[in-house]
A = this chain, B = another copy of it.
Amino acid sequence: MADRTIVTPHLELRRRTAERDRGLREKVMSLEEAASFVSDGDHVAVGGCTISRTPTALIWALVRAKKKNLVISRSITSSEGDVLLGSGVSKHVITSWFSQGIVWGVSKVMRHYTESRKARFDEWSHMAIGLRYRAGGMGIPYMPVRSMIGSDVNALRGDEVKEVTCPFTGERLMALPALNPDIALIHVQRADAYGNAQLDGLQFMDIDIAMAANRVILTTERIVSNDQIRRAPDQTRIPFFTVDAVVEVPYGSAPHECYGLYEPFFDHMDALAAQTKADPEKGIKKYLDDFYYEPSSWSDYLDRLGAEALIDASRRGRSIYND
């Protein structure tokens, strides 16, 4: 697994990219079909941040497909990280911050798995994670940076970071290794059937992740026509040729938010936090049973969230445009 997290040599990166079908073609499919692009042991980058634009539906599909040994990276990891550890899908998370969210305190699930060494949580600074993806997306093997120096965060990373000297100024900087995930999971407000994605509001690290990854699975609240995309090409944030699968999934981030469409499902998140605080292992297992394994479909999952919650989250979400 460890070798999945260091730098892919350039010619190998190019070879993988050259093999991809990057032509303009339709790639709409089901969640289950899209999940089949993920292989056991893959490095999977998760789009969004904390409880915003999380590709929940794709994670739901990966859990149901019983994937194994995925290495997960994300800018900030929330309850979807607890789900990935609790389900056994991942034993290795690379992120800058890992807990459901500040207001819910320190995740007992994260603590349970990492303190017992059942899972590994590699900590990088938030900008370091971002610049690793960015270097990967730019096709360079490292990015010089002025943070993650002098602290124990870099010390703990060992050979995964290297000191470099600027050949012009002589300044000492840290070299961050490029990160090219095997596959990225990204949820957006709208995309066309080719995978051209337009994002509203907060973009997080999604664009760099898409450019860096060797494959991208896109879920979208709705699929729009390519004509619509072409009328405002300056709004496209992810180009179709990076995308391998497009799945239309309404409420695809629930119980997290999707900018301008729905805010987080706070009551649901409160209940999840309370349940895992009481008993991390049992709490998350019950959550998985109730919301991941038992529903017959994504619609059934949404039924379990409840119409009232869906309407309330949507009302709050759309309110960003009420001004």
- Which residues of A come within 8 Å of B, CB atoms? 6-7, 9-10, 139-146, 162, 164, 166-169, 171, 173, 175, 177-178, 200-203, 230-231, 234, 323
Report yes or no: B168 in contact with A141, Cβ–Cβ below 8 A. yes
A149 to B146, CA, bound (A): 26
Report yes or no: A201 in contact with B234, Cβ–Cβ below 8 A. yes
- Known A10-B146, A140-B145, A231-B323: A167·B175 in contact at CB below 8 Å: yes
Output the residue of A168, A177, A203 with the most chain B CB within 10 A: A168
Report yes or no: B164 in contact with A141, Cβ–Cβ below 8 A. no
- Known A144-B142, A146-B139, A234-B200: A168·B177 in contact at CB below 8 Å: yes
* Candidates B6, B167, B323; contact of A142 at CB < 8 Å: B167
CB distance from A199 to the nearest CB of B (A): 8
A274 to B171, CA, bound (A): 50
Across the two chains, which residue of chain B brings its CB closest to A163? B167
Report yes or no: B168 in contact with A142, Cβ–Cβ below 8 A. yes
Across the two chains, which residue of chain B brings its CB closest to A260? B234
Across the two chains, which residue of chain B brings its CB closest to A235? B235
* Candidates B6, B9, B169, B201; contact of A10 at CB < 8 Å: B169
A10 to B202, CA, bound (A): 30
CB distance from A258 to the nearest CB of B (A): 14
Report yes or no: A173 in contact with B234, Cβ–Cβ below 8 A. no
- Chain B hits for A167, CB < 8 A: 142, 162, 164, 175
Output the residue of A7, A140, A173, A202 with the most chain B CB within 10 A: A140
- Chain B hits for A139, CB < 8 A: 146
- Chain B hits for A164, CB < 8 A: 164, 167
CB distance from A20 to the nearest CB of B (A): 20
A39 to B285, CA, bound (A): 67
A111 to B202, CA, bound (A): 47
- Chain B hits for A162, CB < 8 A: 167-168
Report yes or no: A175 in contact with B168, Cβ–Cβ below 8 A. yes
Give 25 A-B contacts (CB < 8 Å), ordered by A residue: A6-B168, A7-B166, A7-B169, A9-B169, A10-B146, A10-B169, A139-B146, A140-B146, A140-B173, A141-B166, A141-B171, A141-B173, A142-B144, A142-B168, A143-B144, A144-B144, A162-B167, A167-B175, A168-B175, A168-B177, A200-B234, A202-B234, A203-B234, A230-B323, A231-B323
- Chain B hits for A144, CB < 8 A: 140-144
